[in-house]
């Protein structure tokens, strides 16, 4: 069996706008998905998932369309786990040329699903890495990131940027603008995450922003304005100017609200963090529910969030310097 892990991430700046070619700056954090892949003697795919902040489950199936598994879990949970793992395994078969090989795939993840912390990207990166290594091939990080991006893009009907998958594969803070993906020098950031216990549907939220852009020119202006904030944010990151980073994160959150992707609980957590003295706070990821990211070197934000109605969990997150980790 080969086992790999990959980190989740927060967006300091630029989610949604990155889908339209603006830059984004996500930052990998030390919450991880770990995937074990073991070759089977038949061509079936068996997926066993645990700790996805949802009930665990096991599915076993032929791995081909038309042979859906017969299991008693919600369709969205199945789609989330199987859709991504299924396409990731297709990439493993493609890279290695072993078209008929079957696998037992075990997923353990501390990253809540659909909450803006890059759970699917982490699972896909770790699954492709472990799957290819199980068959004796170790991918370069760039190819791993590209295959993971192709996987997300296929599952999300082409509505995905390279940001989540590149960040999870390489670790650290990164800058993504279209096909141009690079790592950034980042200071140690005092990141605090607030989680409302919910999730957003990335596909639906991205589609919502797309139709808003088509209907209203303010929405395309907003996407461009987010791009301006990201460019300023990158410079603030290079200077290690935490106050300016926080101010720009606040602006970015306001613009995401204008695009309709915030929610009452995300706004409450953002305001709780700001009132507690955080340098800045914003939603992270697709929005609709899930997580916010705040910058606060003191304990005040974490404490305030833990008393905020609508916040289920608040924790400090370390920057993950390493992306994919090869464990076995
Ligand atoms: C989702 O984590 C981030 C979005 O920008 C979509 C993407 O970049 O693929 C909303």
For the stretch 121-148, pLDDT in tens is: 999 999 999 999 999 999 999 999 999 9
The pLDDT of residue 286 = 95
The pLDDT of residue 167 = 98
- The answer to whether the CB of 285 is under 6 A from ligand 1 is yes
- Atom nearest to 160 CA in ligand 1: 9
| pLDDT reading at 166 higher than 90 | yes
- Centre of ligand 1 to C-alpha 11, Å, is 9
- The answer to whether the CB of 121 is under 6 A from ligand 1 is no
| pLDDT reading at 71 higher than 50 | no
- What is the pLDDT confidence band of residue 54, given thresholds at 50, 70 and 90? very low
Rounded to 5 degrees, what are φ and ψ at 107?
-115, 130
Q: How far apart are CA 59 and CA 226, in angstroms?
A: 41
| pLDDT reading at 61 higher than 80 | no
- The answer to whether the CB of 9 is under 6 A from ligand 1 is no
The pLDDT of residue 192 = 98
- The answer to whether the CB of 177 is under 6 A from ligand 1 is no
The pLDDT of residue 249 = 98
Are 296 and 278 spatial neighbours (Cβ–Cβ below 8 Å)? yes
- The answer to whether the CB of 160 is under 6 A from ligand 1 is yes
The pLDDT of residue 296 = 98
- Among the listed ranges 13-27, 77-91, 194-208, which one has the minimum average pLDDT value? 77-91
- Centre of ligand 1 to C-alpha 76, Å, is 18
The pLDDT of residue 67 = 46
For atom 2 of ligand 1, the residue with the nearest CA is 285
The pLDDT of residue 53 = 46
Average pLDDT over the chain reads: 91
Task: Between 258 and 113, name the one with better pLDDT.
Answer: 258
The pLDDT of residue 150 = 97
The pLDDT of residue 78 = 59
The pLDDT of residue 308 = 97
- Centre of ligand 1 to C-alpha 40, Å, is 34
The pLDDT of residue 157 = 81
| pLDDT reading at 320 higher than 90 | yes
The pLDDT of residue 90 = 96
Are 294 and 192 spatial neighbours (Cβ–Cβ below 8 Å)? yes
Task: Between 220 and 197, name the one with better pLDDT.
Answer: 220
- The answer to whether the CB of 119 is under 6 A from ligand 1 is no
The pLDDT of residue 73 = 46
Torsion of CA 202, 203, 206, 212, to 10 degrees: -130
* Annotation says 164 is catalytic: yes
Q: How far apart are CA 170 and CA 183, in angstroms?
A: 8
Task: Between 46 and 246, name the one with better pLDDT.
Answer: 246
- What is the pLDDT confidence band of residue 305, given thresholds at 50, 70 and 90? very high
Q: What is the pLDDT of residues 7-51, one digit of tens each?
A: 999 999 999 999 999 999 999 999 999 999 999 999 999 888 875
Q: For the chain, list the domains and their CATH numbers.
A: 2-185 (3.30.230.10), 191-317 (3.30.70.890)
Pocket test for ligand 1, best of 19, 27, 165 (most atoms within 8 A of CB): 19
The pLDDT of residue 82 = 78
- Among the listed ranges 79-83, 200-204, 237-241, 242-246, which one has the minimum average pLDDT value? 79-83
Are 327 and 5 spatial neighbours (Cβ–Cβ below 8 Å)? yes
212 CB contacts (<8 Å, ≥6 apart)?
219, 259, 260
Burial 64-97 (b: 16+ CB within 10 A, else e): eeeeebeeebeeebbebbbbbbbbbbbbbbebbe
Annotated active-site residue in 104, 129, 164, 296: 164
């Amino acid at each position: 069996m080969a086992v790999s892990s990959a980190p989740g991430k927060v967006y300091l700046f630029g989610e949604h706008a990155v889908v339209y070619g603006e830059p984004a700056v996500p930052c990998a954090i030390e919450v991880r998905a770990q995937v074990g892949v073991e070759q089977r003697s038949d061509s079936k795919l068996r997926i066993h998932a645990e700790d996805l902040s949802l009930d665990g489950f096991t599915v076993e199936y032929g791995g081909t369309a038309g042979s859906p598994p017969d299991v008693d879990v919600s369709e969205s949970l199945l789609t989330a786990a199987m859709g991504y793992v299924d396409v990731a395994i297709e990439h493993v078969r493609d890279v290695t040329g072993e078209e008929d090989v079957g696998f037992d795939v075990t997923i353990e993840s501390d990253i809540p699903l659909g909450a803006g912390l890059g759970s699917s990207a982490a699972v896909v990166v770790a699954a492709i890495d472990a799957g290819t290594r199980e068959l004796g091939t170790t991918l370069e990080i760039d190819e791993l990131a590209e295959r993971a991006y192709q996987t997300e893009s296929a599952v999300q009907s082409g509505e995905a940027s390279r940001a989540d998958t590149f960040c999870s594969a390489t670790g650290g803070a990164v800058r993504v603008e279209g096909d141009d993906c690079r790592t950034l020098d980042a200071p140690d950031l005092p990141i605090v995450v607030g989680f409302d216990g919910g999730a957003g549907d990335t596909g639906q939220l991205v589609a919502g922003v797309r139709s808003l852009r088509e209907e209203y020119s303010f929405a395309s202006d907003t996407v461009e304005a987010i791009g301006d904030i990201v460019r300023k944010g990158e410079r603030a990151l290079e200077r290690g100017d935490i106050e300016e980073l926080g101010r720009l994160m606040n602006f970015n959150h306001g613009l995401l609200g204008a695009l309709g992707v915030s929610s009452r609980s995300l706004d409450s957590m953002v305001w709780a963090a700001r009132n507690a003295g955080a340098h800045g706070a914003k939603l992270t990821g697709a929005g609709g529910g899930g997580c916010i990211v705040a910058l606060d070197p003191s304990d005040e934000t974490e404490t305030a969030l833990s008393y905020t109605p609508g916040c289920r969990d608040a924790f400090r997150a370390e920057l993950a310097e390493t992306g994919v980790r090869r464990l076995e």
